[in-house]
Amino acid sequence: MSTIWFPPTKGTDVAKKAIEAFKKFPADESIAIQLVQGLIGDRQGIKSISISEVKEGKLEEALTRTGETLRFIAEVEGVTYKVDLMTTPQEAYETVGMKAPE
């Protein structure tokens, strides 16, 4: 999951930079599939959230591509971002040696 924050006054700049980023770093569904993309306002300004499901064995590639894209967008003044790794419920159960309930 990647999260980007930016001031409302930078919305147009961020949108233009995001379009450039998606052309420069196009989605590669052999690495990850985007599940959710959304924008909301919060106390820090505008927040953009993207959640993708990474293909097995492709985590390093996915993190590299995500980092490249986010750093490119963060060239706009006032943009900050972070990346969080999440697991599916099945993966979470497996980490403690259990099988997820059906």
Instruction: Give me 10's structure tokens.
Output: 């930078």
Q: How many Cβ atoms are within 10 Å of 73's Cβ, its own excluded?
A: 23
Kindly list the domain boundaries of the chain, sorted by start residue: 2-95
CATH code of the domain made up of 2-95:
3.30.70
- Give the pLDDT score at 62: 96
- Give the pLDDT score at 99: 87
Note down pLDDT in tens along the chain; length 102 residues: 999 999 999 999 999 999 999 999 999 999 999 999 999 997 779 999 999 999 999 999 999 999 999 999 999 999 999 999 998 888 889 889 998 888
Q: At what angle do helices 11-24 and 59-73 cross, to 10 degrees?
A: 140
- Give the pLDDT score at 74: 97
65 contacts 85 by C-beta, under 8 angstroms: no
Q: How many Cβ atoms are within 10 Å of 70's Cβ, its own excluded?
A: 20
- Give the pLDDT score at 2: 96
